[in-house]
Chain A
Amino acid sequence: MSDTPAVEVVDLHKRFGELEVLRGVSTRVDRGEVVSIIGASGSGKSTLLRCINYLEQPTSGEVRIEGEPVGFERRADGSTRRRSAREIARFRRELGMVFQQFNLWPHMTVLGNVIEAPIRVRGLSRRAALELGRACLDRVQLAEKANEYPARLSGGQQQRVAIARALAMQPKVMLFDEATSALDPELTGEVLEVMRGLATDGTTMIVVTHEMAFAREVSDRAIFLHNGLVEEEGAPAQVFGDPKSERCRQFLAKLLH
């Protein structure tokens, strides 16, 4: 069992009307691994991430969380059954997601944001959730902001709260969808610092990012997507230092200028 990947994506396709955004992506992410997904805008990075937790329903292909297909159930006789929205929601508990736009709930305090899902979805007691919530806020160094409303925080602080909110579900995998892209440059550091801390602690992470230095330094593996396909995949030193694919080379060269 221990070599079952945390996340496995098999021949994933996603089509929006005429536009095929993902054209057969396959990859796996092992437990404790940090995988960066890079690529030009429109290459399908965010769509891939959103298909993994079924915020977008894949057109075809499979997403497996610890070996279990998310979208359908495979019966003993080999037939398959599509899972209900409720069952898919259960898989999402295992996947913490951090969005580009933070998406904190403005009518709840910082602590309220963090404990909401643990109480309502996981069924934790308020007391246990408060304890967990404070621990998560501590981890992103915002314990002192617990009772503020999100509108009173800076963008970097809001994103750290969003990370704490995802952590509070104690997910098996954390998904980051361009977590620093909406931030002013001087605020990205604090968020990347938190993400680096999570990676060091052995959190399984899939990180869609434009922060090439971060991707190179922190991740165990990097994936370069181009036009909905994995164009290059490997150790960061290789992908960033000596890419085999000409397109990946061009993409990286453009970023350096």
Chain B
Amino acid sequence: MFSENLRETFNLALFWEYRHILLAGLAFNFYVFACSVGVSVVLGFLAALGRVNPLRPLRWLGAIHVETFRNAPDYVMLVWVHFVLPLLISQAIGQRVTFAPFVSAVIALGLVYSGYLAETFRAGIQAVPKGHIEAARACGMGGPLIMRRIILPQAVRMMLPEAMNNFVSLFKATTIVSLITVPDMMYNVSMVTQQEMRPLPLYTGAAITYFLIIWAVAGLARLASERWRRKIWA
């Protein structure tokens, strides 16, 4: 019985048979990923600017943002944003509001990972030597210009490896969005499972597919960022 189960698990013919619908689901993982990256980069950057700001209230805001979202489990956040947040908003504006599952997924993952990215950004910004900033000030450059031309280009290069890790985690987190019925690969796997009653090969196929993609993309990203960094810090 056991060995039959095991044999069944690695028989990926079924996975192959349904590859079109499953890959269509995978596309949703990428959509959610891309949109969440956008949200988390923008919010994370703003929170990081708050964290390094000379104004104390802004530093607090940044810290609250980071602590709130970095410490929220992906799954809880997802469910909360999808079911509770619309209720709160409805209450506030006196009008019924609901979020499409895709929108909830992007907001939830975007928020959680903006917490991680904010810390990554902050570390990158603070790693830029003070002297480089003083040299820019001595040339008559102002704050926003220094941020854009001197700090960010260096900070981004320095934070790249850590940001890549954040993005890999974010991509992995996209596999839970099926819980609020975003039709990603895992969602389609469970749909097919209901029809075929053979979940094991499907889950194994999904696991292998996710692994190969994340492994390949992360490796390429690391390689590219290393080459880019090396040009400067020989």
User: Hey, which bits of chain A sit against chain B, CB under 8 A?
Assistant: 53, 55, 85-86, 89-90, 92-93, 95-97, 99, 101, 103-107, 116-117, 120-121, 149, 151-152, 162, 165-166, 169
Query: Complex Cα distance A96/B135, Å?
Result: 10
Closest chain A residue to B134, Cβ basis: A55
Residue interface mask B136-162, A partner, CB < 8 A = 1: 111111110100011001100100000
Choose among A92, A107, A165, A166 the residue that contacts B137 (Cβ–Cβ < 8 A): A92
Would you call B56 an interface residue if the criterion is a C-beta within 8 Å of the partner chain's C-beta atoms?
A: no
Closest 8 CB pairs of A and B: A117-B139, A103-B135, A93-B140, A97-B138, A103-B131, A151-B234, A92-B140, A121-B140
Q: Are A149 and B134 in contact (CB under 8 A)?
A: no
Q: Are B233 and A121 in contact (CB under 8 A)?
A: no
Q: Are B154 and A86 in contact (CB under 8 A)?
A: no
Q: Which residues of B contact A117 (CB under 8 A)?
A: 136, 139-141
Q: Which residues of B contact A152 (CB under 8 A)?
A: 234
User: Hey, which bits of chain B sit against chain A, CB under 8 A?
Assistant: 129, 131-132, 134-143, 145, 149-150, 153-154, 157, 231-234
Q: Which residues of A contact B140 (CB under 8 A)?
A: 89-90, 92-93, 117, 121, 169
Closest chain A residue to B157, Cβ basis: A107
Q: Are B150 and A105 in contact (CB under 8 A)?
A: yes
Query: Complex Cα distance A162/B132, Å?
Result: 11
Q: Which residues of A contact B153 (CB under 8 A)?
A: 107
Closest chain B residue to A106, Cβ basis: B232
Contacts across chains A and B counted by CB atoms under 8 Å: 74
Closest chain A residue to B133, Cβ basis: A103
Query: Complex Cα distance A92/B231, Å?
Result: 31
Counting chain A CB atoms within 10 Å of each CB, which of B138, B145, B150 scores highest? B138
Closest chain B residue to A150, Cβ basis: B232
Q: Which residues of B contact A106 (CB under 8 A)?
A: 132, 154, 232-233
A93/B142 contact (C-beta < 8 A), A107-B153, A120-B149 known:
no
A116/B149 contact (C-beta < 8 A), A121-B140, A151-B233 known:
yes
The smallest C-beta distance from A169 to any residue of chain B, in angstroms, reads 6
Q: Which residues of B contact A165 (CB under 8 A)?
A: 135, 139
Query: Complex Cα distance A131/B142, Å?
Result: 24
Choose among B134, B141, B233 the residue that contacts A89 (Cβ–Cβ < 8 A): B141
A97/B135 contact (C-beta < 8 A), A92-B140, A103-B129 known:
yes
Query: Complex Cα distance A116/B145, Å?
Result: 11
A116/B232 contact (C-beta < 8 A), A107-B153, A107-B154 known:
no
Query: Complex Cα distance A169/B132, Å?
Result: 17
Further pairs besides A86-B142, A89-B137, A120-B141: 5, Cβ < 8 Å: A92-B137, A92-B138, A105-B136, A105-B150, A117-B140
The smallest C-beta distance from A200 to any residue of chain B, in angstroms, reads 24
Q: Are A85 and B142 in contact (CB under 8 A)?
A: yes
Choose among B131, B138, B154 the residue that contacts A95 (Cβ–Cβ < 8 A): B138
Q: Which residues of A contact B233 (CB under 8 A)?
A: 106, 151
Counting chain A CB atoms within 10 Å of each CB, which of B132, B135, B157, B232 scores highest? B135
Q: List 22 A-B contacts (CB under 8 A).
A: A89-B140, A92-B137, A93-B139, A95-B138, A99-B131, A103-B129, A103-B131, A103-B132, A104-B135, A105-B132, A105-B154, A106-B233, A107-B154, A116-B149, A117-B136, A117-B139, A120-B149, A149-B234, A151-B232, A152-B234, A162-B135, A166-B138
